[in-house]
Amino acid sequence: MATTSSSVFERVRERFPALRAAGDREVFFDNAAGAQVPDEVADAVRAHYTERNVQRGGHYALSRAVDEGIADARHAIASFLNASSPREIVFGLNATSLIRMTAEALRPRLKRGDRVVVTELDHESNIGPWLRLESSGVEPVFWRVGGGDAGRLDLEGLAGLLRAGAGRVRLVALPLASNAIGRIVDVAAAARLAHEAGALVFVDAVHYGPHGPIDVQALGADFLAFSGYKIFGPHVGFLWGRADALRTLEPAREFFLPGEAPYAFEAGTQSYEGIAGMAAALRYLASLDGSGSLRRAMARIRAHEAELASTLVLELGRVPGVHIYGDADPASVDERVPTVAFRLEGRTCSAVVEMLAALGIHARDGHMYAPRLVRALGLDPEDGVCRVSLCHYNLPAEIAWLAETLRAMK
């Protein structure tokens, strides 16, 4: 594993208002629920409200500025994902609503007896919308996790479902990384299998988004969704769809909306301030590389977070009574992001997280909106797991504080 200088990432903490205000009194280890925003994001949102809070599509300068800002954001997101065109980027409320919209727009193209594959590893938002297609006679089938506590999706399991489907599988929905246990999925290999069977591929990239570069061409996906507030931006969502895949959908739209992507999918007034903030978030990320390359910056984040993930798994593994779910090998950081689910023997997860909170350490407990995965791990979703989720602005010293605190609880 390559070692990277942490100095760049230590300095970025000065650019986050919440981190400046907290000082060393609070530790932000609940980033999977929503990351903090840097100054430029807050400034961009404020600038929209104070300088151009008008509707798009007008013939006056302020309205044209809103149009230009939206176009700039599409270009930035297309670059972030290595999309073929900005017209493949659709704005929306959040990833959950965009996944639901995609499922409903695909419904008219499906017939009774068609199948969709969903996974036990996913957030429920990438399961429920596809299960609801059952009302049209579509049959959902689950790609089950294996490996005991490891929570691994075996590609042979998918291959078996596709063979059993005998050409009836129309879509495979899967995550790029688990929001509950941090495991990364080999989407490219899964997409190859799905396409050979004639199925489309929908990727939930919400959890992976802040942790490394995403190349939709290399992934071979047809659709991919993520949410801005997980990647240092505001509460907005984004859907990428391959141009010909978007053309297969039939979105519900008003008569005045253009029939082509992306506009056919953007009903109603969008969050212009959120879109401005998301563009600023991507500019912030690009600034983490000296050349201003967004893709190189994300690769730097990935390398830096590999060190954090290794330290986190190692330190938690040394705490007596801690059991890690997902990959617990510090050397296997290539297979995970710095999100770890665990339990502490003799304590409920809610009690553990409440004690951490009393000391200023932000964590989360429960099923993480992945109750099917929690059950597959042999746990009761009611209590679930404890989850700590790091990103590039976290520090090794914070991990040490967490481990020390858990040791004291035991």
| pLDDT tens digits along 316-329 | 999 999 999 998 99
Q: What is the pLDDT of residues 46-76, one digit of tens each?
A: 999 999 999 999 999 999 999 999 999 999 9
Written as one string, the DSSP assignment of 162-219 is: HHHHTT-EEEEEEESB-TTT-BBP-HHHHHHHHHHTT-EEEEE-TTTGGGS---HHHH
Last residue of a domain, one of 221, 255, 285: 285
Last residue of a domain, one of 219, 253, 285: 285
Q: How many CB atoms sit inside 10 A of residue 256's CB?
A: 5
Looking at the structure, do residues 280 and 339 belong to the same domain, yes or no? no
Q: Is the pLDDT of residue 148 over 90?
A: no
Q: What is the rounded distance in angstroms from the CA atom of residue 43 to the CA atom of residue 47? A: 6
Q: Is the pLDDT of residue 78 over 90?
A: yes
Q: What is the pLDDT of residues 17-48, one digit of tens each?
A: 999 999 889 999 999 999 999 999 999 999 99
- In contact, 122 and 143? CB cutoff 8 Å: no
Looking at the structure, do residues 319 and 255 belong to the same domain, yes or no? no
Instruction: Let me know how long the chain is.
Output: 410
* Per-residue pLDDT, 255: 76
Question: Which residue shows structure tokens 């006679």?
Answer: 137
Percent of residues, the chain, with pLDDT higher than 70: 98
Q: What is the pLDDT of residues 336-382, one digit of tens each?
A: 999 999 999 999 999 999 999 999 999 999 999 999 999 999 999 99
- Phi-psi label, residue 235: left if phi above 0, alpha if psi -120 to 50, beta otherwise: beta
Task: Please compute the mean of the pLDDT values over residues 375-396 and round it to a whole number.
Answer: 97
Looking at the structure, do residues 100 and 149 belong to the same domain, yes or no? yes
Question: Which residue shows structure tokens 């809070």?
Answer: 53
Looking at the structure, do residues 187 and 67 belong to the same domain, yes or no? yes
Task: Please compute the mean of the pLDDT values over residues 192-200 and round it to a whole number.
Answer: 98
Instruction: Indicate the SS3 state at residue 300.
Output: helix
Residue 62 domain-assigned? yes
Residue 359 domain-assigned? yes
Residue 40 domain-assigned? no
The CATH number of the domain holding residue 190 is: 3.40.640.10
C-alpha distances in Å from residue 401, one per residue of 25, 26, 330, 396: 11, 11, 18, 9
Q: What is the rounded distance in angstroms from the CA atom of residue 227 to the CA atom of residue 207? A: 9
Residue 302 domain-assigned? yes
Looking at the structure, do residues 315 and 380 belong to the same domain, yes or no? yes
Q: What is the pLDDT of residues 395-408, one digit of tens each?
A: 999 999 999 999 99
* Per-residue pLDDT, 301: 98
Looking at the structure, do residues 325 and 249 belong to the same domain, yes or no? no
Least Cα distance to 126 among 195, 185, 193 occurs for: 185
* Mean pLDDT computed over every residue of the chain: 95
Looking at the structure, do residues 135 and 259 belong to the same domain, yes or no? yes
Residue 205 domain-assigned? yes
What domain range is 77 assigned to? 45-285
Looking at the structure, do residues 260 and 337 belong to the same domain, yes or no? no
Q: Is the pLDDT of residue 152 over 80?
A: yes
Last residue of a domain, one of 285, 315, 336: 285
Looking at the structure, do residues 298 and 277 belong to the same domain, yes or no? no
Residue 2 domain-assigned? no
Residue 240 domain-assigned? yes
Q: What is the pLDDT of residues 220-278, one digit of tens each?
A: 999 999 999 999 999 999 999 999 999 999 998 877 778 888 998 998 899 999 999 99
Looking at the structure, do residues 234 and 141 belong to the same domain, yes or no? yes
User: What is the band of 3 on the pLDDT scale with cuts at 50, 70, 90?
Assistant: very low
Looking at the structure, do residues 319 and 372 belong to the same domain, yes or no? yes
Residue 1 domain-assigned? no
Radius of gyration of the chain, Cα coordinates, nearest whole angstrom: 21
Q: Considering its fold, how many domains does the chain have in total?
A: 2
Instruction: Read off the tokens for 285.
Output: 């990320």
* Per-residue pLDDT, 6: 60
